[in-house]
Each structure stands twice: as structure tokens, then as C-alpha cells.
A and B are shown apart, each in its own frame.
Chain A
């Protein structure tokens, strides 16, 4: 059960290897990797290309929030291993932003818990994206779809 917030990139293979090493109860490992995608944002008559973004976070609160989200997942599903690595700082299109990995004896729990963690960290962990476009910097607004995705876990 590990949470890390870091500026440096991560090695997916090495992270997953370390996460499952020595644990013979894991039957399924679900993994989500978030990347910076090249976006085209319409701004009036212009279409702006997003080349890079800077992820700001709230040191101290971020780690606590991610640990709470992880603990919540562990209460809901039988999990053997969880890992959240979230980057901050300046990232370019194609760069990795976040890694979420969940190991469980069974795949259903692994898939569900992984999706839950991604949905919740988007809406409950203090990160903010500042996009760089040819016409200047723009703070990303909250996405209603993300709130909806996070809320569907409220009922269960």
C-alpha cells in the first residue's frame, strides 16, 4: 500500500515488479497509466494546441488525500497490493502523469478498485493543471464528467 508524489518519471515495469514481488496471493493486477495527451482547445475562433502542462499540488495534503483514497479502496475490496504514483511539475504531451496499480486474488476486485482509485484521485486529491498553449497559459477547469464518475462510487 504505497503512495508517492514525485517530479521524476516512473518505470512501469520496475514499479509493477516491485509491487507484486514475493506476494503469491495476487491473481490479478490491474494497471492504469495516465498520460499527457495533445489537446486542441477551441478559444473563440482559434484552435489552440496544448503542448505541455504544469501540475501544481499541495504538498502534505496530497499525500494524505491519496492515502485516504487508498485506504477506502482497501476497505471496499479484498486487495493484496496497491500503488499510486502521481507526478507534479512540468510535463509534455506523451509524458506519464500517474500510475495506479491494484493487485487482488481476483480480477473483478482489481479492475473495480483500480477504476475507483482513478475516479477518486481526480476529484479528491489536490492537483491543478496549468496548460501551455501557443496563446498563453490556461488553468484547466473541473470536468463535470469526472465528478459524475467519482459519484457513482458513493452509493456502494
Chain B
């Protein structure tokens, strides 16, 4: 599964994207966040509890309870500031 980070989260984590293989008990976006936090200090900071970030599963906005089974790409990003 590919995990992507955007805007400042990319800098905090240190990479724009990475391939990960979470264990089977990582079922939802929220589970993935908790699991990714252990990868590095940057991950822990970017994905900290209470931090304002959103997620997308296969390029569709997803809440933390969305199941990631079979997803090819999960992305994390700060609130949007376009327009």
C-alpha cells in the first residue's frame, strides 16, 4: 500500500510517499494513523493526536473510520487552502 503526504506533512514526515505493509489488524484509516506514528519522530509529529489533518483512500476523502482493506493508496494532508 502506498502512503502519501502533502504540504507541510510531507516535510514533517520527511518523505512524499512510502510503501508500507501494515499488519492485518490495521483495518481503518485511524488504525493506519496509529500504526504509522511509530515509524519515526516525524510521523509521530505529523500524525499526532489532535493535529488537524485529513485523509483520502484511493483519492477520495475518507474519515478515520473508513476501512482500508484493498486500498492501493492512502493520503494524509492538512486542511485545503485553494481557490
Contact = CB atoms under 8 A, between A and B. Distances in A.
Interface of A: 34, 55-58, 60-61, 64-65, 86, 97-98, 118, 121-130, 139-143, 146
How many residues of B sit at the interface, in one of the four size bands? 10 to 19
Nearest to A87: B82
Nearest to A65: B61
B21 interface: no
Contacts of B8: 139
Contacts, number: 72
- Of A97, A126, A127, A139, most B-chain CB atoms within 10 Å: A126
A142 B56 contact: no
B83 A127 contact: yes
A51 B83 CA distance: 17
Nearest to A131: B81
A58 B81 contact: no
- Per CB-CB distance, the 5 closest pairs between chain A and chain B, nearest first, are A127-B82, A142-B79, A122-B83, A128-B7, A61-B59
B75 A128 contact: no
A121 B82 CA distance: 7
Nearest to B78: A128
Contact of A118 (B7, B81, B83): B83
B80 A127 contact: yes
Contact of B82 (A60, A64, A125, A139): A125
B80 A123 contact: yes
Given A126-B6, A128-B7, A139 B78 contact: yes
9 contacts: A86-B83, A122-B81, A125-B82, A125-B83, A126-B6, A126-B82, A127-B81, A128-B80, A139-B81
Nearest to A120: B83
Given A56-B6, A142-B52, A122 B78 contact: no
Contacts of A122: 80-83
Contacts of A143: 81
Nearest to B77: A126
Contacts of A86: 82-83
